[in-house]
Amino acid sequence: MIKIAGTAVSPSSIDGQWPSGSIERGIIDSMATSEAVYDYDSLDLLQFELKLRTNIIAASKDLAQSGVKFAGFSDSRCNSDYWHFKANEFGLKGFQLKQGVKPYTAITDIITNGSKYAFECATAMVIVYYNAVLKTLPEDTFNKLFAGIYLNGWNRDEDLRFTSEKRVDYFPGDYRYFKNPDVNPRTSEWQGENVIDLGDGTYYGHGIGIQTADQMIAALNGYRKPGATKSAYLMDMAGYPDFKYLAMHELYAAEREVQDYQVGWWHDTKHGAVVLHFNDGGDLQIGSLTYADYMSFVDTLRNEKPVYYNQLQKVLSSLKEPVGEGET
């Protein structure tokens, strides 16, 4: 069941903005038919979670195609233009963001210059989530939230608020784990595989690539000890960031941007146009000839920037009556 502001909603009332067969529609349908209750204070929060989940999938594919290599901690490497390769308090080496380097720039470099990087699968999962959040939040917000990134296994910034637990439902974008209980001690790095659920029956795991569950299990079984009797398997658990917490950072940033630039609007009855006025002194006139284009723009905002959409909806609803600030 899905609840928005305490009220149960049907999928048909909210899923029209996503095409049939899309990841988002599939998630909404699964939530709506679940015995669990998925409660959101606003539609914006649900929209943000869906956007971040699709970006997690995109970030997984980015890393899979980036050219990064699989390596253990001791053999890891990074681009020294952006990262220090240094040991933590336990002697395990990882990548410390260099002073003066923006987190956005450094994480992006892993994708664009993947051949300069090598790391194990847990680090890969953290990078996927950073890259997904990077795709979702404004650049300045990302840089402020994740200053001082240190990449080492599951070491991650507290602002991801990452949780792993058993759930009633599993969704695309979830972190999952294939466990290999009878792994050969000589290849202990294959005791399991950290993966991202891509939502189409496949999973991304660093070192194995994008495979089905059966293919993941077969690959891990190839690293079992002699005489092994237990097969690798997909554990009944999932991990994910705090979607609602991260959403508030996007909504806050967007609201501040609206507050900084939009002062007001008025209805120019003389010319039959709506005028939006901005702090920098510029005006945007929306006349009858461009109204269709404007509505198309609003539809784009509905999908890409819900806060802007809601702000402009207030303007549109006011157009039903020719009143506003500075009416002429």
3-state helix, strand, coil in the chain (%, to 5): 45, 25, 35
Asked if the structure places residue 188 within a domain, the reply is: yes
Q: In what order do the strands lie in the sheet with 7-9?
A: 7-9, 2-4, 38-40
* Alpha helical stretches, state H, 83-120: 103-112
User: What integer pLDDT is reported at residue 262 of this predicted model?
Assistant: 40
Residue 224 sits in the same domain as residue 265: no
Asked if the structure places residue 71 within a domain, the reply is: no
- Give strand pairing partners of 194: 177
Between CA 32 and CA 9 the distance in angstroms is: 8
Asked if the structure places residue 146 within a domain, the reply is: no
Mean pLDDT of 120-138: 95
The per-residue pLDDT for range 32-45, each reduced to its tens digit, is: 999 999 999 888 88
Residue 233 sits in the same domain as residue 278: no
Torsion 32-36-37-43 (CA) sign: negative
Residue 175 sits in the same domain as residue 230: yes
Q: Read off the pLDDT band of 322 (50, 70, 90).
A: very low
- Give strand pairing partners of 77: 118
Residue 328, Cβ neighbours under 10 Å: how many? Answer: 10
Residue 234 sits in the same domain as residue 268: no
Instruction: Give kind and range of the element (H or E) at residue 302.
Output: helix 291-304
Mean pLDDT of 268-296: 46
Q: Which amino acid is at 89?
A: E
**Main-chain dihedrals φ then ψ at residue 84, nearest 5 degrees:** -95, 135
DSSP state of 75: G
Asked if the structure places residue 82 within a domain, the reply is: no
User: What integer pLDDT is reported at residue 258 of this predicted model?
Assistant: 42
User: What integer pLDDT is reported at residue 324 of this predicted model?
Assistant: 36
User: What integer pLDDT is reported at residue 159 of this predicted model?
Assistant: 79
Structure tokens at 181: 């209980």
110 close to 68: Cβ distance less than 8 angstroms: yes
Residue 317, Cβ neighbours under 10 Å: how many? Answer: 9
- 98 has pLDDT over 50: yes
User: Any idea which residue has 């990064």 for tokens?
Assistant: 68
CA dihedral 245, 246, 247, 253 (to 10 degrees): 120
Longest dimension (CA), the chain: 87
Nearest CA-CA partner of 68 in 191, 177, 207? 207
Mean pLDDT of 97-109: 96
User: What integer pLDDT is reported at residue 17 of this predicted model?
Assistant: 82
Q: Number of structural domains, the chain? A: 3
Taking all residues of the chain, what is their mean pLDDT, rounded to a whole number? Answer: 82
Mean pLDDT of 305-325: 50
Mean pLDDT of 152-164: 83
- 311 has pLDDT over 50: yes
Structure tokens at 82: 């952006």
The per-residue pLDDT for range 202-221, each reduced to its tens digit, is: 999 999 999 999 999 999 99
Q: Read off the pLDDT band of 257 (50, 70, 90).
A: very low
User: What integer pLDDT is reported at residue 259 of this predicted model?
Assistant: 44
**Containing structural domain, residue 200:** 164-239
Asked if the structure places residue 49 within a domain, the reply is: no
